[in-house]
Amino acid sequence: MDKKPVPQFKGTKKQEQELREFIMSEKDEPGALMPVLQKAQEIYGYLPIEVQTIIADMLEISLSEVYGVATFYAQFSLYPKGEHRISVCLGTACYVKGADKILEALEKRLEIKVGECTRDGLFSLDACRCVGACGLAPVMMIDEDVYGRITPDDIDGILQKYETKQKA
Amino acid sequence: MLTIEELNKIYNSKKDLVAMRHHSSEVPKNCEYKRQVLICGGTGCNSSGSKKVMEALYEEVEKNGLENEVKIVRTGCFGLCSLGPIMIVYPEGSFYARVTPDEIPRIVKEHLKEGNVVKEMLYEDTVKEDGTVISLDETAFYKKQLRIALRNCGVIDPEDIEEYIATGGYQALAKVLTSMSQQDVIDELLKSGLRGRGGGGFPTGRKWSFAMAQENDQKYVCCNADEGDPGAFMDRSILEGDPHTVLEAMTIAGYTIGANQGYIYVRAEYPVAVERLKIAIAQAKEYGTLGDNILGTGFKFDIELRLGAGAFVCGEETALMTSIEGNRGEPRPRPPFPAVKGLFGKPTILNNVETYANICQIILNGSEWFANMGTETSKGTKVFALGGKITNVGLVEVPMGTTLREIVEEIGGGVPNGKKFKAAQTGGPSGGCIPACHIDVPIDFEHLSALGSMMGSGGLIVMDEDNCMVDIAKFFLEFTVDESCGKCTPCRIGTKRLYEFIEKITKGEATLEDIETIKELCEHMKSTSLCALGQTASNPVVSTMRYFEDEYVAHVKDKTCPSGVCKDLLTYSVIADKCKGCTLCKRNCPVDAISGEVKTPHVIDRHKCIKCGLCMKNCKFGAIEIK
């Protein structure tokens, strides 16, 4: 396993209260752990150990069980994501149209590998499995925006939009 | 809360509104609008900007004072995703493709206001050479299609339950609740010959009858909407375009097996589908087609949504249920089968979205109608997500038995850029490929398995001569290595070792003995893995080896990649005749691997070359080749 430095947990009281209220409302539903983890990730953006501990305590299950589920599913992350989340679709339709080259170009441009976050925290890069926009292959998403029919040459222009937004 | 009479009242008052949206050229008598504009709001068209087109349309319609004459409807997927954003105007049935907001003022003024179709903005296949406009149903893409599961996609507003009712929605449920016994429903399904559309092809009627036969105080109906096959989006489009048909069919299933709780397990990666399902469930409860007293008959049924979290294995039925229970989505050994002991240990049926989308039509039109379509063993239609190297990327629904050639060449419009069709991949990471020599195979469950592929859920990816089959096998294995849940050894370790072997081949480091070991390993994984993921993980390798053994041998023996994909086996070289000696490549090479004087042909040093491709990209004379 790669050891990544774990950033300091910066959760607020308000976030914690929101999470606790949600857990209280779901606690008695069968199979509550998944919806709770999804909500927690929505609130905090990731699932640090502090958050997993709250969930384990309130649902009265062991921390190892929470950790087991949190690490099983690709959607859950134990590390914070960048301010802008880039995900490149590596579904079959995109792959046969050269999505791997898009990913390669992004890694080179951002100087990070898949699954990592840039040092300034602006971008994180992930590969995902099919967003279902196969008509536009190859596809990448930045946050909620979908960019279709892209080539490695388009990358620079697209990223610049987000970088200048940041400076402004 | 609707009673059946009230349901019929809505149907009668609204049916003309929806009837206008099928090709006719007249406005039905009772329709209050002169024209209707349908805009696709599916994921594909959303991504290509349909929201902005829609905003522009509302604005222009208002500017021209047409609000009372023109109805704007945001629908689900039309199927032709590569032409998005798509807009159709009825009653003419004019199909505007790749619409931009700038084009809207002209379309509104000339077509909606003055009644003249803007021909040059139409999809070119709907305009004949002599200038006459044909309906969409007559174009090559739609002509051979038969839409049953997709019948409402691209026709109704999925966020309005009344539009669904206007197409005859919830009539099947009313019929079942008032005039059919549980056994009647099962008999009807058995006679129809409907088989599960999720990949396995198990007869739906039999599945339901097993669960019905169980005595238990609690049973469950589940819907598998965890469409994990990368490159497939049939289920997503049905959920986005016609969510109520799934709710209605699940309610019918609940009545039939004696369950009052349903769960839909849907991918969180499909935000639009999730949102529309939430709206549909809320409306169904408000109208009383879900809840404590459905259509006033006293039958009780409820549906809850559960979001997946990105694990392919959760498409396997037992893993899906384990995940709904809030655990790691690992499969369980069968038996006991879910019909006996499923979700929370109770008898459960699990069907795929597309299977449910067929149910109501079978109930309404009868089993005979359904059984008349398709082949001897595979009845009805199948939806395919056509993707990859094909002109018309999109969603198609064809009768079982349609040949691959009809799908690829006629409906799909063939392989673009003058390239040759090499193979089609079906069944995703569990499936296999169908090579060009078998392009005339009729597509049904049996024919595809005989070729070593499978129907799968319906992903159909077309590949051309530029795709390397070893690389494709590697791609799928990388996927299964990633997605193996790790519970059983043959899958966890087998997929990884198999991947390493294939990687060795793509690097030119493998021997012919390795190929034999690979075959043996595939056999072991197939016979000893716990669930379908591991049992079928080797299929892409077995199938590509079967039809493209020469490509494997080329990689292993000659250390070349015939399609020019596997990077480690490629060499860049300068074509001396074409090289003008401009030095551009030399100056751009990051590792100084290129030498040569001005105005004399350059040379690439293979040992120094890192195969970055910069020289090829920069050469203005096409003098760099890759082999």
pLDDT per position as a tens digit, B265-293:
999 888 899 999 999 999 999 999 999 99
CB contact under 8 A, B325 and A31: yes
> A81 CA to chain B: closest CA distance, Å?
16
Distance of alpha carbon B263 from alpha carbon B305, whole angstroms: 6
For residue B415, give the CATH number of its domain. 3.10.20.600
User: Tokens in use for A105?
Assistant: 């170009």
pLDDT digits (tens, 9 = 90+) for B37-51: 999 998 888 888 899
Number of structural domains (chain A) is 2
- Taking the CA atoms of residue B235, residue B239, residue B245 and residue B251 in that order, the dihedral angle to the nearest 10 degrees is 90
Distance of alpha carbon B293 from alpha carbon B290, whole angstroms: 8
pLDDT digits (tens, 9 = 90+) for B182-235: 999 999 999 999 999 988 899 999 999 999 999 999 999 999 999 988 888 899
For residue B319, give the CATH number of its domain. 3.40.50.11540
Report the residue of chain A nearest B328, measured CA to CA: A69
H/E element holding B71? strand B70-75
Answer yes or no: are the C-beta atoms of B38 and B155 closer than 8 Å. yes
- Tell me the mean pLDDT per 10 residues along chain A, length 168: 68 95 93 95 94 97 96 91 92 89 94 90 89 85 88 94 79
Q: Kindly state whether residues A94 and A142 are assigned to the same domain.
A: yes
Strands B594-595 and B572-574: unpaired
Please give the pLDDT value at position A143: 87
B156 within domain boundaries: no
For residue B486, give the CATH number of its domain. 1.20.1440.230
**Best B51, B261, B327 residue to mutate vs chain A (most A CBs within 10 Å):** B327
Q: Which of A50, A72, A94 is the last residue of a domain?
A: A72
Strands B87-90 and A145-147: unpaired
For residue A107, give the CATH number of its domain. 3.40.30.10
Pick B48's closest partner by Cβ from A32, A92, A148.
A148
Is residue A76 within 8 angstroms of chain B, CB to CB? yes
CB contact under 8 A, A92 and B393: no
Would you tell me which residues 379-408 of chain B have a C-beta closer than 8 angstroms to some C-beta of chain A?
A: 385, 387-389, 393-394
Distance of alpha carbon B585 from alpha carbon B593, whole angstroms: 10
Distance of alpha carbon B59 from alpha carbon B250, whole angstroms: 40
Q: Which of B320, B340, B370 is the last residue of a domain?
A: B370
Q: Kindly state whether residues B400 and B528 are assigned to the same domain.
A: no
What mean pLDDT do residues B545-566 have? Answer: 94
Number of structural domains (chain B) is 5
Contacts of B164 (CB under 8 A, 6+ apart): B152, B156, B158, B170, B242, B244, B245
Answer yes or no: are the C-beta atoms of B464 and B419 closer than 8 Å. yes
A45 within domain boundaries: yes
> A71 CA to chain B: closest CA distance, Å?
9
Q: What is the DSSP string of B520-557?
A: HHHHHHHHH-SSHHHHHTTHHHHHHHHH-HHHHHIIII
C-alpha R_g of chain A? 18
Strands B432-435 and B348-352: unpaired
Residue B85 CB neighbour total at 10 angstroms? 25
- Taking the CA atoms of residue B9, residue B13, residue B16 and residue B19 in that order, the dihedral angle to the nearest 10 degrees is -40
Would you tell me which residues 8-47 of chain B have a C-beta closer than 8 angstroms to some C-beta of chain A?
A: 43-44, 46-47
Report the residue of chain A nearest B477, measured CA to CA: A92
Q: Kindly state whether residues A67 and A132 are assigned to the same domain.
A: no
For residue A57, give its domain range: 13-72
Q: Kindly state whether residues A160 and A98 are assigned to the same domain.
A: yes
Q: Which of B63, B37, B50, B44 is CA-nearest to residue B101? A: B50
> B229 CA to chain A: closest CA distance, Å?
8
CB contact under 8 A, A93 and B472: no
- Taking the CA atoms of residue A79, residue A80, residue A84 and residue A90 in that order, the dihedral angle to the nearest 10 degrees is 20
CB contact under 8 A, B44 and A90: no
Residues of chain A with C-beta less than 8 angstroms from the C-beta of B390: none
Q: Kindly state whether residues B460 and B474 are assigned to the same domain.
A: no
Answer yes or no: are the C-beta atoms of A86 and A123 closer than 8 Å. yes
What mean pLDDT do residues B308-323 have? Answer: 94
What mean pLDDT do residues B482-497 have? Answer: 96
For residue B401, give its domain range: 381-464
Pick A31's closest partner by Cβ from B311, B324, B388.
B324
Q: Kindly state whether residues B385 and B459 are assigned to the same domain.
A: yes
Any idea what DSSP says for residue A73? S
**DSSP helix/strand/coil, B323:** helix
Q: Kindly state whether residues A19 and A62 are assigned to the same domain.
A: yes
Residues of chain A with C-beta less than 8 angstroms from the C-beta of B231: 91-94, 130, 134
Global ipTM: 0.89
